[in-house]
Amino acid sequence: MLFNSFDFGFFLCLVYALYWLISVKRRTAQNGLLLVSSYVFYGLWDWRFLFLLVGSSLVDYLAGLALDKTDSKGIRKLILLSSLLWNLGVLAIFKYYNFFLDSFSNLFGLELTAGYAFWNIAIPVGLSFYTFQTISYTVDVYKGRIKPTRNLLTFLCFVSFFPQLVAGPIERARDLIPQFEHKRKFDYRQSIWGLRQILWGLFKKVIIAEKLGLAVSLVFADPGGYHFISIIYALLLFCFQIYCDFSGYTDIAIGTARLFGFRLSKNFNLPYLSRSLTEFWQRWHITLTRWFTDYVYVPIVQSVPKATKGRKAWGLFLTMTLIGLWHGANWTFVLFGLFNGLILIAERIPIGGKPKYFLRYLNRTNPLVSMLYVFLVFCISALLFRSTDVAQVIEIGNRIFYLKTDGAFNSLIGYKIWYLPAMLAVEWLTREWDFPLQYLERRMPRLIRWVIYYSMIFIMIRYAEPREAFIYFQF
């Protein structure tokens, strides 16, 4: 069930009505409705994977309770290790089994397919997101950062809350669980703001991302048939396609949660205005960056009494490589992570005896120059991210590097590209607010606001392309 479908609209209206018809004093009944709704929402993708979702939830719920009952360091480590083995094992089997087996067979020239059956099954939607959410819960309980919840219903809701189940934001237990434990009072203003944020997210997805995606897909389907300028143009379009697609999804998720009285974490903060790649990753997919920082990078650096430059560099390199691999079982994603890791090391680790950081230089130089640098780095990353395999990366790289002009040359998307600068200008002008349409509430008369809202709805209905899944649904 796609967020940009009428099916989801009907589903959301039904759940919303039932949720608030239940008395606010009956918190358990509201949580029960949210849990059933979340399982229905997820089951409509593939009901078989519901068992995996419930199984992962129960493993970490029980792990949390077990950790709370013992003070033995050995037993606590064993409980944590068991939880990690389950979660990472499920992730490895369903998402990476074919990738590692195929890579192993290619590396050693073995024909493993003759004797071993490959895991021919779809990747469970949202697996990477809810797995990381449950891992963070168990690790936080183990380290004493939070107390485990004893309410099974609350924990199941925390793992499977449908607005953010499929593609985040990746929430921490300390932020989301208390919201299920407290009463939610109906707030008309929050519902209105939620609907406006959903509208803004849909607009970015339907009008910007999907239209840019048509042009990008044409080029990447046959890069050898396009002029090198057209290929560069397609890469630029993809940078904005993925931003509008994923930030649009996040707006819909946060807006939907608002309707039910929940606050989800902010996941994007105008990343293309960053002045360094370090700052970019603090503004792009914020909850994922924080997760890897807290649960991968920091433990690596703090594993020794005094972290050396080499230890910090290794931490950055490994963390970004894992972030790349998290995105998908493909060598292009591994290269994506490696490339970003090397750039971050260059920015943050001083070379030689003097503490001269490239990051310090970027922060002192002209803002436009540093932002162009970040966008250039992201365009190279986009090539690695969007390409289907390493061979396509090489082919596109060759056509750009050698300025190949033997292919088609066209603008790909035409006059409709004006939507993009208009949308970006609106987001920049309203950057002090959670989302642009929130700004209208305070600054414009009601008549003008409603004209804008209905114009956006008309444009989406009139110019919508065939519905496509959000890009991050595949991760």
pLDDT tens per residue across span 398-418: 999 888 888 777 666 665 567
Distance CA 275, CA 359 (A): 9
Is 471 part of a structural domain of the chain? no
Q: Does residue 468 sit within a domain?
A: no
Domain shared by 148 and 263, yes or no = no
Are 213 and 269 found together in one domain? yes
* 18-32, 93-107, 369-383: the lowest-pLDDT one: 93-107
Write down the pTM of the prediction: 0.90
Active-site residue, from 182, 227, 285, 327: 327
Q: Which residue has the tokens 């990051």?
A: 359
The answer to whether 57 touches 155, Cβ cutoff 8 Å, is yes
Same domain, 324 and 296: yes
Q: Are 196 and 430 in contact (CB under 8 A)?
A: no
Of the residues 146, 166, 186, which one is the last residue of a structural domain?
186
Query: How far is 449 from 200, CA to CA, in rounded Å?
Result: 13
Alpha helices in 109-209 (DSSP H): 127-142, 152-160, 162-165, 173-181, 188-203
Answer yes or no: do 157 and 232 share one domain: no
* Per-residue pLDDT at 109: 57
Output the pLDDT for position 421.
Answer: 77
Tell me, yes or no, whether 10 lies in a domain. Answer: yes
Range of the domain at 56: 6-109+126-186
Structure tokens given for 191: 């519902």
Kindly state whether residues 378 and 420 are assigned to the same domain: yes
Structure tokens at 341: 């890791």
- State the Cα–Cα distance between residues 217 and 212, nearest whole angstrom: 9
Same domain membership, residue 242 and residue 210: yes
Do both 431 and 333 map to the same domain? Answer: yes
Report the SS3 class of residue 458.
helix
Q: Identify the domain boundary among 139, 163, 186.
A: 186
CB neighbourhood size of 227 (10 A):
18
Greatest CA separation for the chain: 70
Torsion over CA: 210, 211, 212, 215 (sign): positive
Please determine, for residue 240, whether its predicted confidence score (pLDDT) is greater than 70: yes
Distance, first Cα to last Cα, the chain: 16
Q: Is 227 marked active-site?
A: no
pLDDT of residue 337 exceeding 60, the answer is: yes
Of the three residues 186, 207, 223, the one that is the final residue of a domain is 186
Q: How many domains does the chain have?
A: 2
Which residues partner with 226 through β-bridges?
A: 408
CA–CA distance, 93 with 155 (Å, rounded to integer): 25
CA atoms within 13 A on the CB side of 297: 18
Whether 182 and 289 share a structural domain: no
Distance, in Å, from the CA atom of 14 to the CA atom of 17, rounded to the nearest integer, reads 5
CA–CA distances in Å: residue 16 to residues 21, 33, 255, 260, 449: 9, 10, 12, 7, 24
Rounded to an integer, what distance in angstroms lies between the CA atom of residue 439 and that of residue 429?
A: 9
The per-residue pLDDT for 407 is 74
Question: Region 310-325: what's the mean pLDDT?
Answer: 91
pLDDT of residue 175 exceeding 50, the answer is yes
The whole-number pLDDT of residue 116 equals 46
pLDDT by residue (tens digit) across 212-235? 888 888 889 888 888 888 899 889
Q: What's the half-sphere exposure (Cβ side, CA atoms, 13 Å) at 278? A: 14
The answer to whether residue 116 sits within a structural domain is no
Is 170 among the domain residues? yes
Kindly state whether residue 375 falls inside one of the protein's structural domains: yes
My answer on whether 424 and 276 are in the same domain is yes
According to DSSP, the residues that pair with 408 across neighbouring strands are: 226
194 and 178, same domain (yes or no) = no
pLDDT at 306 over 90: no
Same domain, 157 and 222: no
Buried b (16+ CB within 10 A) or exposed e, 335-368: bbbbbbbebbbebbeeeeeeeebbbeebeeeeee
Residues 166 and 284 in one domain: no
Q: Would 203 be classed as within a structural domain?
A: yes
115 inside domain: no
